[in-house]
Structure 1
Amino acid sequence: MPVAAWEQFLQDQNSWPAASRTTRQAVVRDTTSGTTFEKRKRMSPEERHLQIMQAAVKVIASKGFWGMSLQDIADEIGITEAALYHYIRSKNELLNMVLAEGYDTPEADEYNASTATVTDFDGHFCYCFPRYCINVVLYNLQRPEMVQLFSMLNGEALNPAHPAHRFFIGRHLRNWEQIGSMNWILPPGYDEERLYHLYTLSMSAMDGLQYRWLADHSVNLLEEWMAFSEEIFPENVWKGFRDPSEYDPASGQCLQEFTLAAREL
């Protein structure tokens, strides 16, 4: 049985971008049909930088890094390729900019963690991992083009010659450094190794589900992830640890005892 507080998210699909909503047709999801070109007489360097990055996200998401050219980027924003070289020196530099600024951002980290936080009666700040995972899905529903970009590059970067190969090979452990340092409340029996396996399982399942979602417009990403959650975080084990709404401040219960930090003392 899903967490009651999560049902509201399914009822709020009108706020999702059109590319994230579902249809009855099993067709490929179109996440890159919007236009990046904005005709203006003059743009500040910061505005042009953002426009170039947005164009790169769109083009790479649809063509991949190997299939795109700097001429594609120039065409997307309505300038010449020669003019583009005033702002970017190479395809590799453009890719590095997209990876550094586009996907694993501080804004994404803050969104994913903020509403997964529960403060107990004693003022301890703790996190609910199942809610964190729901937040990742909710955030990605607001940026379908970035999900397609990530999926495209993740597949391409299996090739060791790809300039993003090292980024994607190391990404899982880089993210684990952050996840492993957070003060999660966990059911009895979880240690750091088991949490790492849970994190790996959850993120791998999410990546696979996102591929299905991109390939089939009839798939509801959030609905499917909630079904996954019932398998990964079964109620009989995880109830009370899934969402901040499950904690009753009037109980006076201290949650710190359910964290890894407390178990390692």
Structure 2
Amino acid sequence: MTVAAWERFLNDEASWPAASRTTEHATVRDTTSGTTFTKRKRMSPEERHLQIMRAATKIIASKGFWGMSLQDIADEIGITEAALYHYIDSKNELLYAILAEDYDTQDAEEYNAATAAVTDADGHRVFYFPRYCVNIVLYNLQRPEMVQLFSMLNGEALNPEHPAHNFFIGRHLRNWEQIGSMNWIMPDSYDEERFYHVYTLAMSAMDGLQYRWLADHSVNLLEEWLAFSDEMFPETIWNGFRDPSERELNDDCLLPLTLAWRQ
């Protein structure tokens, strides 16, 4: 049974956190049509950098890194390829910048954690992993082009010659290091090893579901994820550990319920 606090996300998009609202349902996942930018006579270096990054994201999401050329980007933003080299040194450098600046960003990390956390009466800040996963879905709903870019690159980067190969091979463990450092409250039956398994299951399920969502416009990403959550975090085990709304704090100290406390 889906957590009551999550039902409002399904029933009323206006209840989504502002960072995740999207209003143009008919075009939100049309990531390949039309030109994103119109030519401007003058731009600051910062504006031009952002314009190049957005154009590259759009093109890679459609064609992949191997299929993209710098001429594609120059055509997209209305400059010559020679002029593009005033702002970037190489195609590889551009890819590294996109991965560093636009996907696993600090803003995304802060958003995913913010409403998955609560501070108890003793001042301990603890996190609810099932809600954290819901927040990832809500965040990604607003950026389908970035999800498509990630999905495209993730497949391409299986090739060891791909410049993003090491980024994707190491990404899961890098993210786990961050996740593992957070103060999660968990059912009694969970230790660090079991949490790692459920974390891996959740992220793998999310990647697979997002592939379906990108390919099939009839897939409701949030609705499907909440159904997945019912299976991965069943109420009989996870009740009180899925969302901050499930627990009245009063004078309770939540630290003894955390994974770190048991270790």
Which TM-score bucket, shorter chain as reference? Answer: over 0.9
Relative distance call for 1:6 and 1:20 in structure 2 (3 A) is: farther
Cα offset, 1:126, TM superposition: 0.1
Provide the aligned length of Structure 1 versus Structure 2.
257
Match for residue 205 of structure 2? 205
Match for residue 17 of structure 2? none
Relative distance call for 1:178 and 1:34 in structure 2 (3 A) is: farther
Moved more, 241-250 or 173-182: 241-250
Match for residue 37 of structure 1? 37
Cα offset, 1:13, TM superposition: 3.4
In structure 2, C-alpha distance between the alignment counterparts of 1:41 and 1:91, rounded to whole Å: 24
Relative distance call for 1:159 and 1:226 in structure 2 (3 A) is: same
Match for residue 239 of structure 2? 239
What does the per-residue CA deviation read over 1:76-96, in whole Å, with 9 as the maximum and x for residues that have no partner?
Answer: 111111100100111101111
Match for residue 255 of structure 1? 254
Secondary structure of 1:118's counterpart equals strand
Moved more, 140-149 or 240-249: 240-249
1:58/1:145 contact within 8 Å kept: yes
In structure 2, C-alpha distance between the alignment counterparts of 1:100 and 1:118, rounded to whole Å: 29
Match for residue 22 of structure 2? 16
Match for residue 25 of structure 1? none
**What pairs with 1:92-131 in structure 2 (closer than 5 Å)?**
92-131=92-131
Greater relative contact order, per chain length (Cα 8 Å cut-off, separation 6+)? 1
Secondary structure of 1:72's counterpart equals helix
Cα offset, 1:51, TM superposition: 0.5
**What pairs with 1:148-159 in structure 2 (closer than 5 Å)?**
148-159=148-159
Relative distance call for 1:34 and 1:136 in structure 2 (3 A) is: farther
Match for residue 66 of structure 2? 66
Match for residue 89 of structure 1? 89
- Does 1:164 pair with 2:164? yes
Moved more, 12-21 or 203-212: 12-21
Match for residue 194 of structure 1? 194
What does the per-residue CA deviation read over 1:20-61, in whole Å, with 9 as the maximum and x for residues that have no partner?
Answer: 889xxxxxx523335321332211101100110000100000
What does the per-residue CA deviation read over 1:103-142, in whole Å, with 9 as the maximum and x for residues that have no partner?
Answer: 0000000000000001112221000000000000000001
Match for residue 227 of structure 1? 227
Structure 2 spans left out of the alignment, 5+ residues: 15-20
Match for residue 26 of structure 1? none
Identity %: 77
Structure 1 spans left out of the alignment, 5+ residues: 23-28
Relative distance call for 1:52 and 1:7 in structure 2 (3 A) is: same
Relative distance call for 1:17 and 1:65 in structure 2 (3 A) is: farther
Moved more, 133-142 or 39-48: 39-48
What does the per-residue CA deviation read over 1:183-218, in whole Å, with 9 as the maximum and x for residues that have no partner?
Answer: 000001111111111110000000000000000000
Moved more, 3-12 or 77-86: 3-12
